[in-house]
Amino acid sequence: MQLAENLIAGRWTAPSSKETLPVMNPSRGEQIAAVPLSGAAEVDAAVKAAAEAFPGWASTPPSERVQVLYRLKAHLEAGFDEICLMVSREHGKTLSESRGDLRRGIEMIEFACSAPTLLMGDALQNIARGIDCHNDRVPLGVVAGICPFNFPAMVPLWMWPVAIACGNCFILKPSEKVPLTAVHIVKLLQKSGLPDGVLSIVHGGRAVVEALLAHPGIAAISFVGSTAVAKEIYRIGCANGKRVQSAGGAKNFVVVMPDADIEKTAQGLKDGAFGCAGERCMAASTAVIVGDASKTVLPALVETVAAMKVGPTDTAASQPDMGAVITAQHREHVAKMISTGTAHGAKVLTGGDLAQSSGAPNGYFVKPTILDGITYENPLATHEVFGPVLNVMRAATLDEAIRLANRQAYGNGACIFTSSGPAAREYRTRVGAGMVGINVGVPAPMAFFPFTGWNESFFGDLHIQGKEGVLFYTKQRTTTTRWFLPSEGDIWAR
């Protein structure tokens, strides 16, 4: 059985503890690898190796540092299909979704390759007579990133390419559920010429996270995962004097106005809610159907979702519309949430049950489910399901729809489908979410912009991605310079 090894000081090693967790193929319910549960000793060894590598890496010119990333991009493009299959195999999402996962990650590498420009500072000559001032950005030192399971390629790539391009050394803790893609990409990074110690991987769960948070040698932590954990990471990381950016969960509302394009809205909502089996922090989780959209868009949506094929995604030969959820436990959790929803009065419009695939009887499949009649008395209105379940709420007006969307605690994403500019503008202005989509099912985070979640969806000041990522992984230095003129003679004559 393959063991996902740690990378410390440029060497792939197993931790001293023999404790492991299984890595499963959710399409088949079969173990495909094991991941070690490392602890404080492995974190400490990784920090020491990173601290040793830091002076040499930080003083390497940015234009040289990014050559490693250019070479990595070439390797990723050459192995693109193989890596996508790996993502589908350990995660369960379809191949086309895995292509999106890796493509968005490669865009982060392309963005990080602009480090020589992104790191430029400001200068002003003569802030006073004969005195100049300039400001530049320097790396923080050793920084760490803790990742969720749902984007095995993309989320780690949100973090470390920018961090190392800025001159930091990075310690990555991938999700213990999907460690294989991260390991594969970092092996390609080694092949691209990264010096030992600049990037380390320490696998495991809570014990590794606690050791990262406690270690005095780590200057900053990037976290992506559920809100309960994100809040704790932020609280403890800050209390320990670290810079922290911590992205949490979501409950994204999508408002459908009566003037929305019927087919495109149904398609957008289907993709938004059921893409990656709903395991996206930007998933559409509640559709607020305004007025007569219930007679146009809603029936079209139910029809298209009811026709979706669910099944295994781990071979290129046949691909379904939707794959499995991540684990057997999560499948049970999603099923339980659906029963909770119906026990509180929701009506199943389609799905509502576990799904079986004849070719893969042990896969963790759930039918794409639409539940109508959700109100705020129903726990489904406020709890993140993170599965293929779309709530339907009704509203008479846009104003009522916005008030419904703003009653929940998260603030990751919010979309509207409409052909009215003023309605879209009103929604964008008033809705309490940091990523707004207008006639798109998912306002997907893009490398060049920060991923601006709000409220219970983000804890920190500087978001992940875009120029804010560069600000997060660097500190500013402002230098004031005065050169004394000799008291006598012409200096230029010397």
Whichever of 386 and 472 has its CB closer to ligand NAD, that residue is: 386
Residue whose pair of structure tokens reads 């406690």 in the numeric block: 214
Whichever of 26 and 258 has its CB closer to ligand NAD, that residue is: 26
Which of 62, 156, 249, 311 forms a contact with ligand NAD (CB under 6 A)?
249
Stretch that binds ligand NAD, among 78-86, 162-170, 225-233, 288-296 (CB under 6 A): 225-233
Whichever of 175 and 304 has its CB closer to ligand NAD, that residue is: 175
Whichever of 112 and 302 has its CB closer to ligand NAD, that residue is: 112
Contact indicator for 279, 150 with CB cutoff of 8 Å? yes
Residue 147 among the catalytic residues: no
Half-sphere exposure of 425 (CA within 13 A, CB side): 3
The residues with which 131 forms a beta bridge, in sequence order, are 128, 482
Which of 245, 319, 350, 457 forms a contact with ligand NAD (CB under 6 A)?
457
When asked if residue 176 is in the footprint of ligand NAD (CB under 6 A), the reply is yes
When asked if residue 211 is in the footprint of ligand NAD (CB under 6 A), the reply is no
Which of 157, 201, 247, 269 forms a contact with ligand NAD (CB under 6 A)?
247
Residue 57 tokens, joined: 């890496």
When asked if residue 433 is in the footprint of ligand NAD (CB under 6 A), the reply is no
CA distances from 386 to 27, 279, 331 (A): 17, 5, 10
Beta strand pairing call for 347-350 and 369-372 = antiparallel
When asked if residue 398 is in the footprint of ligand NAD (CB under 6 A), the reply is no
Compute the distance between CA of residue 428 and CA of residue 425 in angstroms, rounded to an integer.
5
When asked if residue 420 is in the footprint of ligand NAD (CB under 6 A), the reply is no
Q: In whole angstroms, how close is the CB of 281 to ligand NAD at the nearest point? A: 3
Stretch that binds ligand NAD, among 101-109, 169-177, 401-409, 480-488 (CB under 6 A): 169-177
Range 188-207, binding ligand NAD (CB under 6 A): 205-206
Compute the distance between CA of residue 185 and CA of residue 156 in angstroms, rounded to an integer.
10
Contact indicator for 256, 287 with CB cutoff of 8 Å? yes
Q: What is the largest CA-CA distance in the chain?
A: 94
When asked if residue 146 is in the footprint of ligand NAD (CB under 6 A), the reply is yes
Which of 92, 148, 352, 469 forms a contact with ligand NAD (CB under 6 A)?
148
Contact indicator for 293, 326 with CB cutoff of 8 Å? no
Compute the distance between CA of residue 413 and CA of residue 233 in angstroms, rounded to an integer.
22
**Shortest CA distance to 365 belongs to which of 423, 391, 326?**
326
When asked if residue 369 is in the footprint of ligand NAD (CB under 6 A), the reply is no
Q: Helices then strands (H, E): number in the chain?
A: 15, 23
Which of 15, 197, 248, 387 forms a contact with ligand NAD (CB under 6 A)?
248
Q: Residue 222 gets which letter from DSSP?
A: E
When asked if residue 465 is in the footprint of ligand NAD (CB under 6 A), the reply is no
Of residues 113, 169, 276, 281, which has the active-site annotation? 281
Stretch that binds ligand NAD, among 99-107, 170-178, 313-321, 480-488 (CB under 6 A): 170-178
In one-letter notation, the amino acid at residue 52 is E
Binding footprint of ligand NAD, residue count (CB under 6 A): 26
Q: In whole angstroms, how close is the CB of 479 to ligand NAD at the nearest point? A: 36
Whichever of 115 and 208 has its CB closer to ligand NAD, that residue is: 208
Whichever of 147 and 322 has its CB closer to ligand NAD, that residue is: 147
In one-letter notation, the amino acid at residue 455 is N
Binding string, residues 436-455; x marks residues near ligand NAD by CB under 6 A:
---------------x-x--
Compute the distance between CA of residue 47 and CA of residue 96 in angstroms, rounded to an integer.
37
Contact indicator for 397, 406 with CB cutoff of 8 Å? no
Sign of CA dihedral 399, 405, 407, 410: negative
Range 255-294, binding ligand NAD (CB under 6 A): 281
Compute the distance between CA of residue 221 and CA of residue 171 in angstroms, rounded to an integer.
9
When asked if residue 168 is in the footprint of ligand NAD (CB under 6 A), the reply is no
CA distances from 16 to 6, 39, 171 (A): 11, 9, 18
Contact indicator for 95, 319 with CB cutoff of 8 Å? yes
Whichever of 418 and 452 has its CB closer to ligand NAD, that residue is: 452
Contacts of 348 (CB under 8 A, 6+ apart): 338, 342, 369, 370, 371, 372
Whichever of 78 and 409 has its CB closer to ligand NAD, that residue is: 409
Which of 20, 350, 391, 412 forms a contact with ligand NAD (CB under 6 A)?
412
**Shortest CA distance to 144 belongs to which of 225, 236, 212, 42?**
212
Stretch that binds ligand NAD, among 99-107, 218-226, 431-439, 472-480 (CB under 6 A): 218-226
When asked if residue 150 is in the footprint of ligand NAD (CB under 6 A), the reply is yes
Q: In whole angstroms, how close is the CB of 350 to ligand NAD at the nearest point? A: 24
Stretch that binds ligand NAD, among 8-16, 247-255, 361-369, 394-402 (CB under 6 A): 247-255
**Shortest CA distance to 255 belongs to which of 271, 269, 240, 237?**
269
Beta strand pairing call for 413-417 and 474-482 = unpaired
When asked if residue 209 is in the footprint of ligand NAD (CB under 6 A), the reply is yes
Contact residues toward ligand NAD (CB under 6 A) are 146-150, 173, 175-176, 205-206, 209, 224-226, 229, 247-250, 281, 384, 386, 412, 451, 453, 457
What is the set of active-site residues? 281
